[in-house]
Amino acid sequence: MMAFANGMPFPPPRELPADFPREPDRALELASRLSAMETLIGIHVAQLDAWRDYTAALTDFLDFPNHVPSGPLSETETKPSGLGIDAKKPPELFGDEIADRMLDRAVKARVLIDKAAALRTVLTADQLEKLGDAERSFDPGPRRFR
């Protein structure tokens, strides 16, 4: 005889309490740090466009999806709609998908490099030094193995 309903050997999972700490929103944390850095290094009105371009490129580059589905998509998701599509096209391989993601990241990296170079041209030497010091706070440092 099963101790729990529906033939389950374990009790059903409970909802997390409302005050249970959720995983932090990394994009929001990054945005708040970048906003604080803007004030810390003293970005002026004339530098604001270059700063915003840099921070937008940085957040775009560091933005990872929370969950990337593993394995192939279902047949309904992969079936193209429309006429004139080659039905004999070979299926995409796992390596192709990874390579496509890396190419997308490479494009974002190139944009970030370009925006960083543009920012360096408008910041003063003192601001660049402050920015370098502030960016070191992003490094989490060594962590314990869990």
Residue 87 lies in a domain: no
Successive 10-residue mean pLDDT values, the chain, 146 residues = 59 71 80 93 96 95 67 52 60 85 94 97 96 83 61
Task: Give the model's pLDDT for residue 5.
Answer: 58
Two tokens, residue 71: 């394995």
Rg (CA), the chain: 24
The burial class, CB within 10 Å (0-12 / 13-18 / 19+), for 44 is exposed
Residue 35 lies in a domain: yes
Residue type, 98: I
Task: Give the model's pLDDT for residue 20.
Answer: 73
Degrees (nearest 5) of the Cα angle 36, 38, 41? Answer: 105
Residue 75 lies in a domain: no
Task: Give the model's pLDDT for residue 37.
Answer: 94
Residue 71 lies in a domain: no
Task: Give the model's pLDDT for residue 118.
Answer: 97
Residue 99 lies in a domain: yes
Residue 59 lies in a domain: yes
CA distances from 53 to 1, 29, 59 (A): 64, 18, 10
Task: Give the model's pLDDT for residue 141.
Answer: 66
Residue 3 lies in a domain: no
pTM summary value: 0.66
Which residue range is the domain that position 120 belongs to? Answer: 25-63+93-137
- The structural domain count of the chain equals 1
Task: Give the model's pLDDT for residue 129.
Answer: 95
Instruction: Return d(Cα 85, Cα 72) in angstroms, integer.
Output: 20
Residue 8 lies in a domain: no
